[in-house]
Chain A
């Protein structure tokens, strides 16, 4: 529901970078955590709308989905969750709220042409 305002922020951010560097953007690379609260498909559709009528009109949004990784306090290891409905260590089953990754909403790179 709030993907459009997020998409507009992404376009603004990328456009600022492009202007500073004097480049044209082909694609924006984004890391999207499973706990970001953002739906990938909806964000891609919103990006098309948000970039329309801007220099980023023809650009693509390339999303890398980041699963949630917790730290198990019992096994002392990081553990990737297969679902965000169960915050448990896959080895020993101990619950953990120590989130290492999975909240990302970050522009990581720009694919550009001079």
Chain B
């Protein structure tokens, strides 16, 4: 039984790197999405164990995505990680205030992402 992880990131290379890192953990499957809008389409189609989202995206920003997830009874319990960059503390703080549980500051090493995901999903 695999757990699905939604990755919302508009940079293709970053998205693929995050997906590859997630999928290096046995039992996890990465579902990539290149925009907030695309993520909204994917949300009802799968039961996600975790959502990892960038904040600054062209259509619907990551904060709005978090708010949407948290205000939707069916999705509310899905944990969210946010990806931010240095210097965007305000955005990061808002993300955490809206209910994101963890954040990663770019650049992060695949190892730190892997550890965070393992710890959060209580995988050995």
Q: Bound pair: A and B?
A: no
Which A residues are closer than 8 A to B by beta carbons? Answer: none
Which B residues are closer than 8 A to A by beta carbons? Answer: none
